[in-house]
Amino acid sequence: MKPLFDFLLKLCILSVILWGVILYGPGSGNVHYSAVFLAWIMVVINAVVGYLLFEYAFEKESSLFTKVVFGGLIVRMMILMAAVAVVLIGKMVDTTDFVYSLFAFYCIYVIVEILGYQKKNKQKKNAA
């Protein structure tokens, strides 16, 4: 369970840093925080679900691992795209801030997710 704790800890630390920059950084006065928050929550949920799917499939056979991880990626992307479409079509938040935030958060959190995968793989190699 340690890699999961490390992953969640890194997500929390990264989130605090990013929100600090958003709230107190340059240009923070003209940001629609509801748009940024919605983008952030969507990406965080996506990253956590992705890592949990990886954790579930990690010790499974190769074909099941591939189905769970890559199939989960496709399902997560479809759900995320549908959620983004609902937000944009429904004009729920400021479009510009939402799209920029979603893109930035997604790029950053995918890197953290991949680093979590690598750490888990490295621990397995060290144990073997």
**pLDDT digits over 42-87, tens only?**
999 999 999 999 999 988 898 999 999 999 999 999 999 999 999 9
Which sequence spans correspond to the domains of the chain? 32-122
pLDDT value at 40 more than 90: yes
Among 21, 50, 54, 31, smallest CA distance to 100 is for 31
The model carries a pTM of 0.86
pLDDT value at 114 more than 80: yes
Burial code (b: 16+ CB inside 10 Å, e: under 16) for 39-58 equals bbebbbebbbebbebbbebe
| Band of residue 38 on the pLDDT scale cut at 50, 70, 90 | very high
Among 113, 108, 44, smallest CA distance to 80 is for 44
Q: What are 13's two structure tokens? A: 């630390």
pLDDT of residue 24: 86
Average pLDDT for 105-120: 88
Q: Of 15 and 122, which is predicted with more confidence?
A: 15
